[in-house]
A and B are shown apart, each in its own frame.
Chain A
């Protein structure tokens, strides 16, 4: 089988696996937790179907140059949307993984938002090169965004892998399965980026690798969602654990503070009942000082 026919088969298989993974994700009622992944699969299936159709009708109904125009914009816009959705998946996975430790979850999400925001801004800023404009600039910006997203995804995968047991999860958990799939995808994107430096043609040997890798990722996700997920274990931490201490500190951070009136409060502000309570309390607080005769009598009795 020539490689182009094999790539064509992989293209159809990719669309089929996207739909299958999406159907299982919805069927298992996981959309609420993994809506980002669901949206990524929808965008991927829709854009690939359109790309396939354009490719098929190129030169046979659609003029080749027009077909390439459509192909170019559908591919790169779809890619940009998928990069943003992948960032949202990373955010969602981190949120799910840290769910038992609410304080650290809040703090981690805040840090993630800032890190992701700054990384995206720097990536898009670095896309502006003196000689680049128009579509070149668009492609460069999307590529930079993708690279940023890939690095963040790999950081998440490392975190999930090494913190999976303290989080009460296992390698059979969907959180790990989704992270692993995204991690493989990110590594492949980065390797492909290096490959394209020397092979900037549209159809290359790497397309076969790409097709196989995406099918493996989609099969992994489908399997993780199809198989029953083991329940999360109870997380037991020693009372001296720094995780527990940091979680408590993080939970206290950001609480709206209480306010104390320290002076300049006119009595009219208080209700009569409140004034009465304060009067009685102040009477109890002041211990009556014994008179001189009482003190002398007590002393003589003691002698």
Chain B
């Protein structure tokens, strides 16, 4: 049989999480070696004999046996997970303990534990996201570098620093014990949100990589939803926003591979199943007293998802949601999106006013869609020349071929309208 796509990558995260639980977080590198070894074995054997009936079970069994070997061989020289301590010392308890840790429920918890550990308060957010991708999603340094459009050495440095912090934390985050679960949860949600956004809005030219980042963020968010303490209203809202955005992704690129703006998308290509799932999750998020940015962003996505045509969009509702979002988590990008919504509701001149009033708009100087938005609104106000200039600026800072093509088309659209003055 053919192995499923990304099988090794998926299993890598599960295996490292479980092995680290056994070996202790200070032995993360050892866990990674054991996983590497298991993949080498799988690769060698499977290429001759074919993939076994249940490849995941095969890999897990290989990792388990290697874990037992390592513990037996090194238990006098090394200390393993402190909380397992004595249980690993005696043969009587070693096998049953390791068996149990490789059970299905335990493996899920191990991934959660690792996720919480990666979102260590001493790590900057970008390092947390890189670490989650590396350890839990099995992305190599170069794969992360290409996804984030960053250099290999920069990502390597970020990850190795982050691993040091993780290893120095002595033990994994305790999801059932004394650790502050609800205190750490927002950091985990934020990291998954950033991971999803990197896939959805990021600059990586390869759409396959971007889709994978979104899928991984959704998979890990699913683990949070499965855990009673982690499945808070905010987690539901986060999952809802991911589903509602992902529902639109089939239409973001048309059949010719061209990037389509939300206004021009063929909405019949939206994924209705994902949209419905997003709606269901959004309904479930509407409990409790906490209103998070995920609630608002999911609500905005839901307004778009329920509009059959771009012109049916309830812009009044969207503007008011953006007002709330500006109140709880202001940022120049949120302000820009709010201005675009205002332009839809009250006309392009009002939109331009709002864009010019954005505080900290210098932080948008490298964001092509800031200039693209200015250009669209100038164009709608009948000032082709100004629109043309802004589109040119946007084009100059486009981050990948797809954005470049999109902006070239927009530049051309104004050129056709601009009277030939030269």
Whether A and B are associated in the same complex: the answer reads no
Q: Which residues of A contact B (CB under 8 A)?
A: none
